[in-house]
Amino acid sequence: MGTANTAGRTLAEHAYVELRERIIDMRLAPGSALDEDALMRELGVGRTPMREAVKRLESDRMLTVYPRRGTIVSEVNIKDLRAISDARRVLEAFAARKAAEHVTDADRAVLRACLDELSHDGAGSNQDSMDLDERIHHAIYATMRNSYVEATLIQYFSLSQRMWNFVLAGLAPITGNVHEHAGLLKAIIDGDPDRAAALAEEHVTHFEDLVRAAL
């Protein structure tokens, strides 16, 4: 049970990633109890990796552990939207600025590939667009080269993804929001920190406005 799985992840990482994805996409519903034994069997992990995954997800604010009730999938509280958006505005702008300052030719190749994917996005599903959105954000975070800020950004981005799924999934296409990244990617590729930061901040604000409009 202590060896890495076929994807090269540890069992604890495997459990964390799988549970996180299910929480974000609502397969594990807000407020539901986590059936750890069933999930351990399904994911092929033991008690210790599952406990490690649960502890990480509790730190990510996606699970809540109660001493007597067990582990509950955290509720989605729309009241948190402003606080999450405020944090993301600051951090996403910082990441975009630093990415534009530190971008290398290798980074530009990755970001141009994201731009190419954007040019073909539109015919696929909402999930395809959300997956592309995530890849673009992660590419920008990697270009920033600050693992501490990156870890925090990924946490907030995941909370935003979950909120989007809770409020807007099946109601509004995300394609337009994802295509806002074209200008941001170009600003980073061009090494324009001020424009990159401004566009990143605008993107978060637009996301917040979309969620509020759907309430």
Specify the pLDDT at position 66: 92
φ, ψ for residue 65 (rounded to 5)? -105, 125
pLDDT tens sequence across 1-13: 344 444 557 999 9
Q: 11-73, what's its fold?
A: Arc Repressor Mutant, subunit A (1.10.10)
The H or E element spanning position 66 is: strand 63-66
pTM above 0.85, yes or no: yes
> Residue ranges of the domains in the chain?
11-73, 78-214
Specify the pLDDT at position 170: 57
φ, ψ for residue 180 (rounded to 5)? -60, -20
Contact 134, 161 (CB under 8 A): yes
**Tokens of residue 187, six digits:** 């600003």
pLDDT tens sequence across 124-133: 667 788 889 9
Q: 78-214, what's its fold?
A: Four Helix Bundle (Hemerythrin (Met), subunit A) (1.20.120)
pLDDT under 50: residue ranges of the chain: 1-6
Helix and strand numbers, DSSP H then E, in the chain: 10, 2
